Structure 1
Amino acid sequence: MSRLTRRSTRITLVCVVALGAIVAGLMVWSSTGVRLSSHTVVSLSRDRVWEFFVDPHNLARWDRSVGRVEPTTAAPMGTGYTFDTISPGPDGEATRSSYRIEDFTPPHGARVDLVGSPQFQRASWHTKLEPVAGGTRVVIEVEFAPKLGYFFLTPMLLLSRGNLMTDMTYLHDEIEAYARRTPS
């Protein structure tokens, strides 16, 4: 074997080992999950903001990843309530994800857990409503753990923090518009 061939083989081996270590690290990191958080302040009382959140169809008004919401429980909104979101997939096919409200504390907040998704083994959304001078601070915290085959989503989620902030701008605008549409 020539010297050049041995050197090329070593470089290839180092690259393969490094890539393997990166993939293994991403897989471990993915299993622990990614946490993102953002907030906005709206000029409405906490009770009025809560009214906006208890209509599941309002989710599609501000979350750009949701095309529509289909309730799957006839019961009133509360702990145990379930719904599906439908989003256009990358190939034009609809992607359906199923959710369950795990904690419902009017008018303070709620936690919604993902119970069925093609990409995620688990995900949870925490919404907190905090009174502040002149309105309400809406805090959204999300935790995602992709399924093993989707481990590559972990760095993408971390790099997409700006998308959550954009959604919070839409949320702010939709809550303010809700106040104009539905006088108290």
Structure 2
Amino acid sequence: MRVNSEPDARTLHRVKQTDPDRTLVASNKKARHDYDILKTYEAGLVLAGTEVKSLRAGYCSLVDAFAQEREGELVLYNLHIAEYGFGSWTNHAPRRTRKLLLHRIEIERILARLRDAGGGFTLVPLSLYFRGGWAKVELGLAKGRKAYDKRQVLAKRDADREIQRALGRHLKGRTAARGRGGRG
């Protein structure tokens, strides 16, 4: 029996298309709830060897992590990467600060938005993943939501979901009538 890992034309619509080079390690779902994400950036991370091994094993948490400027560079704070189980005295500190790798022009644009007096912007990590063997973090330039904003977003999302359900039921009802040999 031959096993085919490639989806055929009949099942292709059911397979979620994602980036094949991207291996997700951790995502920060709470950030998308608590903040309005205006723009996203992809940044590299400066990591120690045991941190990479721990990330590949999936021991990472983005909760409470954020990025700030330090001496003209962007640094990620409170990213928790657990100590590597087989590491020795060379193990890393789990919540150490980690430098972010971006092009100089990107850093300047981000810092201009962060320094904007009336902006109230912050940089939050949205996901951490490997792309082409390199650890990357997706940063979101975000503005915090108030409690009533969060409730409005949830209500809008529920309404949109209900509209999609009703539309789906309506379309299924139409296609079922045509498929039974009736006049189309």
Report the TM-score when normalising by structure 2: 0.24
Larger radius of gyration: 2
Report the TM-score when normalising by structure 1: 0.24
Report the structure, 1 or 2, having the larger strand content.
1
Report the structure, 1 or 2, having the larger helix content.
1
